[in-house]
Amino acid sequence: MSKIVAIIQARIGSTRLPGKVLLGLEGRTVLEHVVNRVGESALVDDVVVATTASKKDLKIAGLCAKKKILVFRGSEDDVLDRFYQAAKSYCADHVVRITADCPIIDHKVIDEVLRLHLRKKSDYTSNVLKETFPDGEDVEVFKFKTLKKAWEAARLPSEREHVTPYIRKNPKLFKLSNLACRTDLSGKRWTLDEKDDYLFMKKVFNALFKKNNFFGIEEILELLRAHPEYETINRGIGRNEGYVKSLRADKRLCSIN
């Protein structure tokens, strides 16, 4: 039987919001919320936090040890290698990639992507090939052997830092599938990258967490219909700014070569 391992990438060194994964929300850190939510998946066997071997990320490793969360420490800059080594260490057949800046990730979405992936026998399945889910509900699933091929072949900075671009850019090599949201919610920002994102998250958690620790997309939408002013807090921040930055690094590398 195939083993499904969810790997959550986490580090302290965020330039826009340092230490964001250890910020508090209703008595728990952002990272704990992500781990707990991913752990609610009906299909995931293990949840692993993949952090770096850097001294500054000892805080993340310490939190994981204290909370009995599986952890792997690897390369700081080569996140693709970190993922590959973590997946290999925990004997994954399929990997679910989640980032630690998504404290309201919905476990039901994770399971929807996984079921599509398994049903279609795809090499890679996500809900981001065409963005229709809120930013912060991103889920990527791929076979371990697909991850290994990317690990062996990827060369560009963006491909090493963001794990899956090499896979997504090679549909002739890999069978790709995408899960679309029933309603296009791609304009909504539910991720944590700036101070204003944190202010938005605090509003959401304050309103919903005590009623249901694992509130999902529908509950958040209902809250935002009642309080549309919450969405103005972090409106205007661009999606995938980190990836865009990496693409600029690609161009610099290509110009040197």
Instruction: Give the right CATH number for 4-256 from 3.30.70.330, 3.40.50.150, 3.40.50.300, 3.90.550.10.
Output: 3.90.550.10
SS3 sequence of 54-87 = CHHHHHHHHHHHHCCCEEEEECCCCHHHHHHHHH
Write out the DSSP string of 27-57.
Answer: TEEHHHHHHHHHHT-SS--EEEEEEESSGGG
**Predicted confidence (pLDDT) per residue in 196-210, tens digit:** 999 999 999 999 999
Bigger pLDDT: 8 or 251? 8
Structural domain boundaries of the chain?
4-256
Q: Binning pLDDT at 50, 70 and 90, where does residue 16 land?
A: confident
Who contacts 85 (Cβ-Cβ below 8 Å, separation ≥6)? Answer: 72, 74, 75
Q: Name the H helices within the chain.
A: 30-39, 58-66, 79-89, 107-120, 144-153, 157-161, 165-168, 195-208, 217-226, 241-256
Q: What pLDDT was estimated at residue 236?
A: 83
Q: Binning pLDDT at 50, 70 and 90, where does residue 243 land?
A: very low
**Predicted confidence (pLDDT) per residue in 146-181, tens digit:** 999 999 999 999 999 999 999 999 999 999 999 999
Percent of the chain having pLDDT more than 70? 93
Q: How many CB atoms lie within 10 A of CB 18?
A: 11
Task: Report the distance separating Cα 40 and Cα 23, nearest Å.
Answer: 21
**Does position 248 have pLDDT exceeding 80, yes or no?**
no
Q: What pLDDT was estimated at residue 43?
A: 98
Go through the chain and tell me how many residues it has: 257
Least confident of 124-138, 179-193, 230-244: 230-244
pTM of the entire structure?
0.92
Q: Is the dihedral of CA 114, 120, 124, 126 positive or negative?
A: negative
